[in-house]
Structure formats: structure tokens, C-alpha cells
Amino acid sequence: MAVVDAFWVGAREVAPVVDLVQLARAAGGWTALEGASAQARIAWGVPPALAWAWDAARPETTRGTPIVLSDPQYPEALRRTPHPPAVLYVEGDPTPLSAPGIAVVGTRRCTRHGAAAARALGHRIAAAGWTVVSGLARGIDGEAHRGALDAGRTVAVLGHGLDHTAPARHQGLRDAIVARGGAVVSVWPDALPPRPHTFPKRNAWIAGLSEVVVVVEAPPTSGALHTARFALAMGREVAAVPGRMGDPASVGTNRLLRDGASVIADVDDAVARWTGHRPPPIDAWLSCLFEGGSLEEAARRSHRAVSEVAAAIARLEVEGRVVRLPGGRYAPRQQETSG
């Protein structure tokens, strides 16, 4: 167990009301602020009740690694937001928190189309070396994390303390994120359970950790739309996947597009624009299959998910461009006809 000292325990409660970065500047630095009395903090603009409560705070222990606002490991993208959280409680490797991040978010009740889009986005973003940020929720969030795990690292931002997993059935996904070099992060003490008011705040920190927020599917009341609004307020790009007219799962995303969000018409193009990375052309992984490679090897070479390669090869079979040979091998159609 790690220890969060009394100053930062108190600062955690002050951070939503007072911008601690500006307060530290007014005090002459973090060291001066840590050593200041309650009266001095009041003079620098901290409300009296908060200043006295801050002075009375006591150290806490945490199962995670605490990263405080003055720490060089604190993610710079989050530090630039208004009222950044004073302490991040992190399970896993904190490094992905400071890498360029793209959030992929959306409804818990996603369609098959939305699930596939989220997984593809997660995979391509991670394959490009960027961090996929999402909220570990059912639906779009979970699919984005799973896609990222096929290719790189992902960060799950929780709406509760580290002692809990919501939904409980995502405990295995949470464990996989940590095991594969990603991170699970919270801004609340370990024991705090999921509460309705914590998830909108969680959405703000998803936006704060990201350079771009992508909304895949969202009905009109989706929390993902809150994440998009937070991102816009922070000066971050918002993008959305267009959906069918009248589809309840896409009403929110289509409204975002109407209001000026970037449209994602092609996953490769979008990820290339954000990251500068484009996966090899289809011929590269087809050559791998034609040389006797497995679907898994072709997926690795092409920075695609196995399910995506399998779907693509199935389409090519239907189009008559590829034939499946005994033993699970593939060949161009003309190879079969030439004997």
C-alpha cells in the first residue's frame, strides 16, 4: 500500500473549487504552498472552510500508485485542464497516461456496427503507438479497450475508487489492461463506490487525458455527449462516427456532426490524420496469407484485429478474388484455376 500525504489528501477536496496550479503560482511554488498555514491559503483565495479542512486532513493509504499534481509523471494534457484533480490513483503502468491519447466513448447499448467501429478504432489507435482512453463501461467503452489490447496499451478511467469494478463483469478486462502495460486510473479514494454524480466527473477526466474524443454511438442522453462537451470546453477535437437516420443509438452522434464534429468516414484515414500512422495496404497481409501465414500473423503484420482480417478475407472469398485451400491456407483465385 502507498501513502498519500495529508497535504494532497486535503488538496483533493479543494481541487474542484480552487485551481491548484494557479494557487501554487500565487504561493510561489508547490513547496511554499505545502508549508503554508490555513490563514495564508485563505489570503491566496481558498475559501475559509476549505482552508481549515485542508489543514486538518490526515494521510491516507491506497492500493494504487498516487501521482500528485506537482509530480513530473502527472499527465501534462490533464494538468492543462481547468481545476485538474490533485491526485491520480493508478493501477498498472502510469506511462500511457502521459503518451498522446485518443478517447473512444459511446453508449452502453451499442449496435453491432458500433461495437465493430469501436474495436477497429481502438486497435488502429493503439497500433499507431497512441493511448486509447475510455471508461471501462459496457458497450462502446469495453470494445474500444478490447481493440486496443490486440495492438498496444489502453487506459481505463473509473467513476469510483480502485476497490471497485463497475460493471463487475469487466474485472477480467480490467486485469488484462493492467497485465498488458496499460493503466486503470481514478481520482477518488479507493473505497468510494460507484455513484451517479461521479460518472459525469469521470467523463471530464477522460476528455482531459485525450487530444481527441471520438464518440462512436450515443443516444440523446448519453454520457458520451458530456465527454464531448468537456472536450470542446478544453479545446480538444471532437469526432463522431455517422449513423443511420432515425437510429436511436446514433441520434447523439449525428447531432454532433451537425454541430461541427469531425466525421469519421474511414478508420484508417482518421487515425492517420491524428497520428501520422497508416497501416500497410491490404496486399501486405494478403501476401502473408498466401505464403502460408495464419490469420493471427496477418493481423499482426497489418496492425488490424484478427476479427477484422477474418471478415475481410470472407468478403474477398464472396467476391471471388480469394479461395480457401485445405489446411486453412488461402490463394488468389487465379492460382486455383491454373492448377
Please write the tens of the pLDDT for every residue from 78-109. Answer: 999 999 999 999 999 999 999 999 999 999 99
Identify whether residues 251 and 141 lie together within a single domain. yes
For residue 325, the domain's CATH number is: 1.10.10.10
Identify whether residues 150 and 287 lie together within a single domain. no
Identify whether residues 269 and 127 lie together within a single domain. yes
Range of the domain at 115: 95-275
Identify whether residues 206 and 74 lie together within a single domain. no
Identify whether residues 218 and 320 lie together within a single domain. no
The last residue of one of the domains, among 92, 119, 144, is 92
Q: Tell me, what's the pLDDT at 317?
A: 79
The last residue of one of the domains, among 275, 293, 308, is 275
Q: Residue 158: is its pLDDT beyond 90?
A: yes
C-alpha cell at 42: 485563505
Q: Tell me, what's the pLDDT at 319?
A: 65
- Total number of domains in the chain: 3
**Residue (of 66, 70, 103, 90) closest to 234 by Cα position:** 103
The last residue of one of the domains, among 275, 295, 327, is 275
Identify whether residues 160 and 231 lie together within a single domain. yes
Identify whether residues 164 and 130 lie together within a single domain. yes
Place of cell 481547468: 82
Query: How buried is 78 (Cβ within 10 angstroms: 0-12 exposed, 13-18 middle, 19+ buried)?
Result: buried
Query: Minimum mean pLDDT among 95-104, 121-130, 257-266, 320-329: which range?
Result: 320-329
Identify whether residues 259 and 292 lie together within a single domain. no
pLDDT tens for 230-245 read: 999 999 999 999 998 8
C-alpha cell at 119: 474495436
CB atoms near residue 274 (< 10 Å)? 20
SS3 string, the chain, reads CEEECHHHHHHHHHCCCCCHHHHHHHHCCHHHHHCCCHHHHHHCCCCHHHHHHHHCCCCEEECCEEEECCCCCCCHHHHCCCCCCCEEEEEECCHHHHCCEEEEECCCCCCHHHHHHHHHHHHHHHHCCCEEEECCCCCHHHHHHHHHHCCCCEEEECCCCCCCCCCHHHHHHHHHHHHCCCEEEECCCCCCCCCCCHHHHHHHHHHHCCCEEEECCCCCCCHHHHHHHHHHHCCCEEEECCCCCCCHHHHHHHHHHHCCCEECCCHHHHHHHHHCCCCCCHHHHHHHHHCCCCHHHHHHHHCCCHHHHHHHHHHHHHCCCEEEEHHHEEEEHHHHHCC
Place of cell 481545476: 83
Identify whether residues 64 and 140 lie together within a single domain. no
Q: Residue 339: is its pLDDT beyond 80?
A: no
Q: Tell me, what's the pLDDT at 272?
A: 93
Q: Residue 17: is its pLDDT beyond 60?
A: yes
For residue 188, the domain's CATH number is: 3.40.50.450
Q: Tell me, what's the pLDDT at 287?
A: 82
Q: How far is CA 49 from the centre of its chain?
A: 35
Average pLDDT over residues 301-326: 78
Identify whether residues 257 and 291 lie together within a single domain. no
Identify whether residues 120 and 268 lie together within a single domain. yes
Greatest Cα pair distance in the chain: 89
Q: Tell me, what's the pLDDT at 282?
A: 66
d(CA 209, CA 130): 12
Pairing of strands 237-240, 212-215: parallel
Identify whether residues 288 and 269 lie together within a single domain. no
By the 8 A CB rule, do 154 and 124 touch?
Answer: no
Q: What is the pTM of this model?
A: 0.84
Considering Cα of 133, then 137, then 139, then 143, what sign does the dihedral take?
A: positive
Average pLDDT over residues 70-75: 96
**Residue (of 136, 134, 146, 139) closest to 108 by Cα position:** 139
Average pLDDT over residues 150-165: 95
C-alpha cell at 264: 469519421
CB atoms near residue 50 (< 10 Å)? 18
